[in-house]
Amino acid sequence: MQIGMVGLGKMGGNMAERLRRGGHDVVGYDRDPAVSDVASLKELVERLEAPRAVWVMVPAGAPTQATVEELGQLLSAGDIVIDGGNSHYVDDQKHGTELATRGIGFVDCGVSGGVWGLENGYALMVGGADSDIQRLMPIFQTLKPQGEDGFVHAGQIGAGHFAKMVHNGIEYGMMQAFAEGWELLEAADVVTDVAGAFKSWRHGTVIRSWLLDLMVRALEEDPDLSELRGYAQDSGEGRWTVQAAVDHAVPLPVITAALYARFASRQDDSPAMKVVAALRNQFGGHAVTA
């Protein structure tokens, strides 16, 4: 089928490519004229035949907000906007309501797959009305991995990004679990072949997983990770997961600990621990480190 793709960066560009390989007619728009098929969103909309489907794959927050608003002005009743970025589910619900006033459908789609998606397919979690999802199924079928899994219609608008958000929260916890295990093995001097232990775990163990495979790859490239600093960004979904949990009074000790470990990894010095050092000095005369 025909689809417009807005945002042709690392993710959007590869997804457009996978769709084309699957026989779809993709009209792409990007701010960078070198990769764009059209000069503007307006031209993109004109190039598509109604009823249109436009996939938005731009950074979450203000860029997505601006794109959805502009599309709301350009599109017509019966068209559908898909937000495939990492948007907050609350924003989805707002966008859906706004577009609905003009008869435009809205579908949110959480996408997992990273740099591996072009070849292996993208896991998709979508939220929206049944009829909208149904119309877009040819697109989803091409983007998703082969086999029965890799796609879920998770619920109404927002459910796709909510599911993706929780997926990422789980991912934070799993990554941190592997990370802590590695640190302990390295610290303890009992296991002398740490990389070998990780490699061995790839078969027959309870923790075998794609993240373990990636970890083995990383250790093969750099056995003691000496090329890296212990510094990790967070991309939003981890924070939203914790905030949603707090809203719903759900305790998330593991996922939150993993998020906090990332926060701490980006601090040159811990302000909190200055206080601990100051207090120890006050009551015990413990030496402080200036």
Query: Is 164 marked active-site?
Result: yes
Among 104, 192, 223, 237, binds a second copy (CB under 8 A): 192
Q: Which of 17, 43, 70, 171 is catalytic?
A: 171
Which C-beta is closer to a second copy: that of 23 or that of 203? 203
Which C-beta is closer to a second copy: that of 1 or that of 197? 197
Using CB under 8 A, which residues numbered 260 to 279 contact a second copy?
Answer: 260-267, 269-279
- The strand pair at 151-155 and 105-112 is best described as unpaired
- CA distances to 63, 72, 95, 102, 141 from 69, in Å: 10, 5, 8, 12, 28
| Residue closest to 260 by CA, chosen among 163, 176, 184, 182 | 176
- The minimum distance between CB 94 and a second copy, in angstroms, equals 14
- The minimum distance between CB 65 and a second copy, in angstroms, equals 18
Measured between alpha carbons, how far is 197 from 143 in angstroms, rounded to an integer? 35
Using CB under 8 A, which residues numbered 119 to 138 contact a second copy?
Answer: 120-125, 127
Using CB under 8 A, which residues numbered 44 to 103 contact a second copy?
Answer: 89
DSSP 8-state secondary structure symbol assigned to residue 3 = E
Both tokens assigned to 257: 């600990």
Using CB under 8 A, which residues numbered 9 to 28 contact a second copy?
Answer: 10
Name the β-bridge partners of 126.
Answer: 109, 153
Is-contact 99 105, C-beta < 8 A? yes
- The minimum distance between CB 221 and a second copy, in angstroms, equals 9
- The minimum distance between CB 70 and a second copy, in angstroms, equals 27
Which C-beta is closer to a second copy: that of 9 or that of 51? 9
Name the β-bridge partners of 25.
Answer: 2
Among 4, 113, 140, 237, binds a second copy (CB under 8 A): 113
- The minimum distance between CB 34 and a second copy, in angstroms, equals 20
Among 115, 137, 141, 223, binds a second copy (CB under 8 A): 115
Query: Is 171 marked active-site?
Result: yes
State the Cα angle at 91 between 109 and 128, rounded to 5°: 40
Query: Considering the rule CB under 8 A, would residue 207 count as an interface residue with a second copy?
Result: yes
Among 97, 100, 186, 223, binds a second copy (CB under 8 A): 186
- Give the number of residues in contact with a second copy, rule: CB under 8 A: 137
Q: Near a second copy by CB under 8 A, which window of 31-39, 71-79, 95-103, 173-181?
A: 173-181
DSSP 8-state secondary structure symbol assigned to residue 52 = P
| Residue 44, C-beta contacts closer than 8 angstroms, at least 6 positions apart | 4, 6, 27, 29, 37, 38, 54
Both tokens assigned to 68: 């959805």
Among 3, 83, 154, 237, binds a second copy (CB under 8 A): 154
Question: Prior bond to 33 cis, omega within 30?
Answer: no
Is-contact 238 165, C-beta < 8 A? no
Catalytic residues: 164, 171
